[in-house]
Amino acid sequence: MAVDANVAASTQDQALSAFLFVFKHVLGRKLDFIDAVRAKKPKRLPVVLSRPEVQATLSQLAGTNLLIAQLLYGSGLRILECMRLRIKDIDFDQRQITVRDGKGMKDRVTVLPERCHQELRRLVENRRQIHQQDILEGYGAVWLPFALATKYPNAPYEFAWQYLFASVRRSLDPRSKLIARHHADEGIFAQALKRAAIRAKVDKKITPHCLRHSFATHMLEAGADIRTVQELLGHEDVAPTMIYTHVLNRPGLAVRSPMDSLLE
């Protein structure tokens, strides 16, 4: 696959995983070592929006979708980290968001944009009313990780543990067998963001992760220390954060084209 078919690294990884699964679980044979040529993973620069592009895209969003986009760009959250936020993770007084069990199962703290305070408070109060109604109707429990529901039986019904961006409908949780409100579907927001970018005439491949990339780049442009940005993004090592310094070296930001001097 790597030599003849010229496949992507992810495609080869998927095929290799299937190959290993068959040998281990179907044929009952253990493979200690595989000497295979591996497809190379391409090194790509992240797609970063300019500040006018961010503003134009956000102007095409409204309601909850706008608030999610503001948090992704304003706090550097990954989309799933944002959708999995609980009520207790928002600290208005300290102006910070606590991200629980992020990538690598790590907790971290990031900044809470002041411009989101009013809408977030309004959302929290709306969630409180919906949760109280769920309790009255005999529901109101939410899934908790790491068997916390067993250790603290009342915790699933506490408002602090409810999802901030909860689904509009209750559904059956296949893990706990409870009828509860899971967090909203991140795919719905991704589609809304894509449509907003098209209406804003932003001709880039826009995904929710672009807003996180833009957060990091614009923080560095504004003079933030790279170690601080590393902590806010939740990178274990500074190397992944360094990619945004390469983005800063694009013409128009730190480099001036000689053609412009010639025309002068």
d(Cα 230, Cα 239) in Å, to the nearest integer?
9
Say whether 209 is catalytic.
yes
Residues in Cβ contact with 218 at an 8 Å cutoff, skipping those fewer than 6 apart: 51
C-beta atoms surrounding 107 within 10 Å: 11
Say whether 235 is catalytic.
yes
Say whether 212 is catalytic.
yes
Catalytic-labelled residue, pool 73, 108, 163, 244:
244
d(Cα 70, Cα 211) in Å, to the nearest integer?
9
Catalytic-labelled residue, pool 170, 182, 209, 218:
209
Six token digits for residue 180: 């509860």
Say whether 78 is catalytic.
yes
Catalytic-labelled residue, pool 86, 181, 212, 213:
212
Catalytic-labelled residue, pool 78, 108, 131, 183:
78
DSSP string, 12-24: HHHHHHHHHHIII
d(Cα 89, Cα 96) in Å, to the nearest integer?
8
- Amino acid in position 261: S
Catalytic-labelled residue, pool 103, 182, 194, 195:
103
Say whether 103 is catalytic.
yes
Give the active site residues.
78, 103, 209, 212, 235, 244
